[in-house]
Amino acid sequence: MSNFWSLWITVITFIVIFGSLWLLIANRNTEVKGDLEEGEIPKTGHVYDGIEEYENPLPAWWFWMFIGSAVFALVYLLLYPGLGNYKGLLNWTQEKQLQEQVEIANQTLNKQYSAYAATAIADLAADPSALRMGRRIFNNNCSVCHGIGGTGANGFPNLSDSDWQYGGTPEQIVQSITLGRQAIMPAWGAVLGEQGIIDVSDYIMSLGGRDFDSQRAARGAGHYQTFCVACHAADGAGMQALGAPNLADNIWLYNQADTSLVENVRHSIRNGRNGSMPSHGDKLRPEKIHLISAYVYSLSQTNQ
């Protein structure tokens, strides 16, 4: 706030407060001319459009309540920010109040979290209250991609099955959440050519137990053993260290519903895939990640 407006507000505030006080005190008494005649009802002498005011004095405690509220306002303005740029004697700010409240909330939460943080994830996965907390944190932070039950979506892995792209042990789950994951499936379109892509896709269909053309699959097997085997392994089991998915379990990460599965697979081979799990170590405190991991771990344990 510029000095002018700060001064403007201060001056107006004081004019209003002291003006009200002056108005109140100056009009405390009124003078009436003439003696009160016998039987006459006392009036204040105030006349408005011929309407006269009877003398019905207000209780004195009203007067003192008015004075009290003016005094309160002055003390308040002295202690708290209110007069333009003046900071107030207490140095109160919204930010400080927020910080204090967050601090208090954290202390309460720490008590709850610390009990869970000391317990192993595998044990937490059997604790309903820990799972309830974990599920809430999961639903707030993870369900945007992985769905409210962790069932995943096209391009986002299903966390409730026992198929893991990067490993499903508690430690691996914690690592995936904390550091994030970055998949690198290169584009093979230029290398394989369109026919090569079709052949490889048929071979992959055969690995996954889907319908396939055996001639094309046989040709595709050759390409597979040359280009794909390094990451996806000879039997298509994949490699969790690299995040190369298992191609032989009929679970498909990229399976857009408006095209057929084989078209989806061909797209993956042709253009590559760069699935990315963002890191949450900087967004969520370790105790929360611990609880989320327990919840995710429990999903894979119950939904075998």
Partner 1 sequence: MDKKPSPELENPRPEVKAEHNEVIRVLNLYQTADKIYTRRLEGFYRSVRRWAWMPMLAGYFLIPWLSIDGRQAVWFDLAERNFYIFSITLWPQDLPFLAALLIISAFALFTITNLLGRVWCGFSCPQTVWTGIFIAIEDWFEGDRNKRIKLDAQPWSIDKFSRKAAVQFFWILFSFITGLTFVGYFNPIRELVPDLFHLAISAAALFWTLLFTALTWANAGFMREQICLYVCPYARFQSVMFDSDTLIVSYNQDRGEQRGARKRDAIRRDAIKSHENSQELGLGDCVDCTLCVQVCPTGIDIRDGLQYECISCGLCIDACNAVMEKMHYPPGLIDFTTENTLKNGTAFRWLRPRLVAYSTVLALLCGLFIYQLSVRIPLEVDIVRDRTQLYRTTPEGQVENSYLLKINNMDQQDHRYKISVQTVGEIAEQQFIYRGQSEVEVAEGEVIEMLVRLEIPQQMILRSNTEVEFLVTSTTTPTLTNSEISRFLAPVKAVNRD
Residues that bind partner 1 (CB under 8 A): 27-36, 41-42, 44-45, 54-63, 132, 135, 139, 143-145, 147-149, 151-153, 205, 210-211, 250-252, 255, 257-262
CB nearer partner 1, residue 171 or residue 263: 263
Nearest approach in angstroms of CB 10 to partner 1 is: 30
| Cα dihedral across residues 35, 41, 43, 47: positive or negative | negative
CB nearer partner 1, residue 2 or residue 302: 302
Nearest approach in angstroms of CB 222 to partner 1 is: 22
Nearest approach in angstroms of CB 217 to partner 1 is: 13
CB nearer partner 1, residue 34 or residue 50: 34
With b meaning 16 or more CB within 10 Å and e meaning fewer, what string describes 225-255? eebbeebbeeebebebeebbbbbbbebbbbb
DSSP class of 150? S
Residue with tokens 């039987």: 39
Nearest approach in angstroms of CB 268 to partner 1 is: 15
Three-state SS string over 161-172 comes to: CCCCCCCCCHHH
Nearest approach in angstroms of CB 200 to partner 1 is: 15
Residue with tokens 């026919």: 195
CB nearer partner 1, residue 116 or residue 295: 295
CB nearer partner 1, residue 152 or residue 186: 152
Beta bridge partners of 276: 182
d(CA 26, CA 14): 17
